Structure 1
Amino acid sequence: MQMSDTRQIAAQPKDVYAALLNPDVLKACVPGATEVTGNASDGFEASVTQKVGPVKATFKGQVTLSDLIENESLTITGEGKGGAAGFAKGGAEVRMRAKDGGTELSYDVEAKVGGKLAQLGSRIIDGFAKKMADKFFSNLQETLEGPAEQGDDGGDTETKKGWLGRLTGKE
């Protein structure tokens, strides 16, 4: 299963890049993540619990970052085993560029599953993989920008505080 998308994030490319290297941000962004430890150079250990159709499993695995070009691009690759449910593996090529005072983030995702999960059929798996990727990048956007206020047109930065602001105490 492959998919691509682009989204505009109200943060500078250097902040988006730094967020993708931070295990706390990854834990907040990966749907169902219960633990993410490690670092960008050695890789991350992750534990993720998800329900795909009738199959619920906790996947334990590794996430590695490669092809790192600071503030421009990186590749995220992950593989996890979910016991009797099977395995899941995939990756995303992520590109960032400054645009309209923020960052245009584009990504290409590829995902594969095996075991019981593969028996669910490609429509269920493809839909789930797309939902997971969309949720990850939506969570990343919200983490960087702060939660959107009702009626917010995206321009009121005083009411938002992203992850960098929360860490430094600045808005």
Structure 2
Amino acid sequence: MELTETHSLPVPQARAWQALNDTEILKACIPGCDSIEADGENAYAVGMTAAVGPVKARFKGRMELTEIDAPHTYTIVFEGQGGAAGFSKGSAKVNLEPGENAETTTLTYSAHAQVGGKLAQIGSRLVDGAARKIAGEFFKRFSARLQGGDESQPAQNVAADEETGGEKEEKGKKSWTAWISKS
């Protein structure tokens, strides 16, 4: 699986770099993330729950930051085990550049991942789609957090919108994060 995207962040480059290296911010912004704990220099143990199609599992893994050139770029090398659901491993190159003005940053990443076990059996289209949804939700939460909001619990926001007649989500449909957080 390969995934390449660009996002505009509402903060200067130094602030974006600081946030991308703050484990509390990352834990709050990564959908299904239960824990991120230091596991050596520039390395972290990660626990999260994820669902891809019919396969739902709790993954335990490790990520390490390499090729660090603060505040411009680094590479994240990751691997995770989900028991019977399978495994994932890969890397993501993250680049930060000043945005159109001094108050914005352009983040570009290119991720390459391999999955095995039941995850590999369900097909690359479902795996790619799930990865894009998780990345999209991460950047939605991350941008909101950088702007001073807290999007770490969007499932609760959806329920509140449905009660008040808000139109953020179609009535009767649940967000992706509501679906994966049922486990």
Alignment TM class, shorter chain as reference: 0.7 to 0.9
Instruction: Find the counterpart in structure 1 of residue 174 from structure 2.
Output: none
**Match 1:134 to one of 111, 131, 136:** 136
- C-alpha offsets along residues 31-52 of structure 1, whole Å, 9 cap, x if unaligned? 1001111178341111000111
Q: 1:110 to 1:36 in 2, by over 3 A?
A: same
Q: 1:47 to 1:13 in 2, by over 3 A?
A: same
Could you say what secondary structure the match of 2:64 adopts? strand
State the 1:146 CA deviation: 2.8
Residues of 2 paired with 1:25 and 1:83: CA distance? 27
Instruction: Find the counterpart in structure 2 of residue 114 from structure 1.
Output: 116
Residues of 2 paired with 1:140 and 1:39: CA distance? 23
Q: Which runs of 5+ in 2 are unaligned?
A: 151-183
- C-alpha offsets along residues 49-78 of structure 1, whole Å, 9 cap, x if unaligned? 011111110000101111111111111121
Please say if residues 21 and 39 of structure 1, whose CA atoms lie closer than 8 Å, have aligned partners that are also in contact. no
Instruction: Find the counterpart in structure 2 of residue 24 from structure 1.
Output: 24
Q: 1:73 to 1:50 in 2, by over 3 A?
A: same
Q: 1:29 to 1:90 in 2, by over 3 A?
A: farther
Q: 1:72 to 1:133 in 2, by over 3 A?
A: same
Q: 1:39 to 1:15 in 2, by over 3 A?
A: farther
Instruction: Find the counterpart in structure 2 of residue 103 from structure 1.
Output: 105
> What CA RMSD, in Å, does the superposition of the two structures yield over aligned residues?
1.7
Instruction: Find the counterpart in structure 2 of residue 159 from structure 1.
Output: none
- Higher fraction of strand: 1
Could you say what secondary structure the match of 1:71 adopts? coil
Instruction: Find the counterpart in structure 1 of residue 13 from structure 2.
Output: 13
**Pairs within 5 Å for 1:42-121:** 42-99=42-99, 100-101=101-102, 102-121=104-123
State the 1:118 CA deviation: 0.6
* TM, length-normalised to structure 2: 0.75
Please say if residues 65 and 77 of structure 1, whose CA atoms lie closer than 8 Å, have aligned partners that are also in contact. yes
* TM, length-normalised to structure 1: 0.80
State the 1:9 CA deviation: 0.9
State the 1:147 CA deviation: 3.2
Could you say what secondary structure the match of 1:136 adopts? helix
**Pairs within 5 Å for 1:30-45:** 30-38=30-38, 41-45=41-45
